[in-house]
Amino acid sequence: MYNTVKIKIKGKNVTRFIQKINKNNIEIYNIDKINRNEIIIIINYNDLDKIKEVKTIYEIEIINYYGINKIKKQIKKHEILLFCLMIGLVLLIFLTHIIFKVEVIHNDPKLRNMMIKELSNYDIKPYKMVKTYEEIEQIKKHILNKYQNKIEWMEIERNGTKYIVRLEERIKTKEKKETENRNIVAKNNAVIMEIDAEAGDIVKKVGDYVKKGDIIISGSINLNEETKSLVSAKGKIYGEVWYQVTTKIPIHYYSKQKTNKKQNWYYLKIGNKNINLFHKSYKNSINKKQILLKNNIIPIMLIKEHQQEVKIKEKIYLDEEVTEEAYNQVKKEITKKLNQNEQILSIKKLKQTKKDSKIIVEFFISVKKDITSFAAIKEDLDVRDNKQLP
């Protein structure tokens, strides 16, 4: 019953009054006869004035409203209370977006004071508005770049109306002066591809096969098959190294991929019910909740939820697609472990088997890799004597 009203009619022979209503084309949705002189009916709210015009000696009493008018009556009845609640909610939300304290956690008071001063340059200080997640990330990036020699890591966490800043100081390590006499040896079994020697005698050449531990650049300086002096061999060796890698591809693939969309979602939690305040939640997301306000007496909480949208990716691999996917995965993982001058030379599939819900693929991989390693030279008596010769 949309926008209707329930009324009670009192008077002698109310049945005659009902007939009169019908003659005036007033639609009656429901009739509940109490006795000969009292009856309750439900009519359209817009017909209420017509009823009053034809009531004559009959008494009309409004019992209840339905639909929009009921809502309007309730709002009007409690308008002062609702207004106060709305003002209180707006004030509450405003106050929860103001920072009242910034706490830097670190043992060094000088570093704490320096960081508090630096953060204030970005308006992260008491009685300022909170920053968005993106703004915090940018501030952290700027500070870490500015103090890269002092700060290894930092985190800015909001806890209600307080920011907690955690720091990890960069530990400066003095470079150890290399005084030990040494050879450069092979780190892996390999075929030598490049030799870049700065100090020492080269005893192997490009194209030679070496085993792990074989000397490539010697720290023993020889003359006429006699060791005249010992030095610390310096240089860089690159060789072709081989790996056998096994990877497993699930036949049914499921993953979550982050998008660039992020938002802060605010909602009131009353009991087990959530009331959204500003935004709509993403369909799929990674969420981090933070309680901004909680009442221990009334079961109500104001919650901020940082949402990172994700896309769900599902795929059932066909046999012909498995090799390509496995190849790409192996190449990606090996590439992550290579340095600037290292590279993958070749990837060849050895075999492919199926077990349970996974497909197992084995590859033979050839890599150009830094195989430089060091081994100390034990200085003997004859060499020490040779050093003292004029």
Tell me how many degrees the CA angle 279-284-97 measures, rounded to the nearest 5: 35
Q: Which numeric CATH code is attached to 98-169? A: 3.10.20
Instruction: Measure the CA–CA gap between 81 and 87, rounded to whole angstroms.
Output: 10
Do residues 125 and 98 touch, judged by C-beta distance below 8 A? no
Q: CATH classification of 4-75, choosing from 3.40.980, 3.30.70, 3.60.70, 3.10.20?
A: 3.30.70
Q: Is the pTM of this model over 0.85?
A: no
Per residue in 261-280, pLDDT (tens digit) is 888 877 777 777 777 766 66
Strand, coil or helix: 171: coil
Instruction: Measure the CA–CA gap between 162 and 290, rounded to whole angstroms.
Output: 12
Do residues 96 and 228 touch, judged by C-beta distance below 8 A? no
Longest dimension (CA), the chain: 144
Topology agreement, domain 4-75 and domain 98-169: no
pLDDT per residue, tens digit, the chain (390 aa), is: 567 888 888 888 787 888 888 888 888 888 888 887 888 888 888 888 888 777 777 888 888 888 777 777 777 777 787 777 788 777 777 777 788 889 998 888 888 899 999 999 998 888 888 888 888 889 988 998 888 888 888 888 888 788 999 888 877 654 444 557 889 999 999 999 999 988 888 989 999 999 999 999 988 887 777 777 788 888 999 999 998 888 888 777 667 778 888 888 777 777 777 777 666 677 778 888 888 777 666 677 788 888 888 887 777 766 667 778 888 888 888 888 888 889 999 999 888 887 777 788 889 999 999 999 998 887 553 444 444 333
Instruction: Measure the CA–CA gap between 306 and 265, rounded to whole angstroms.
Output: 6
Q: Where are the domains of the chain?
A: 4-75, 98-169, 180-251+317-390, 254-313
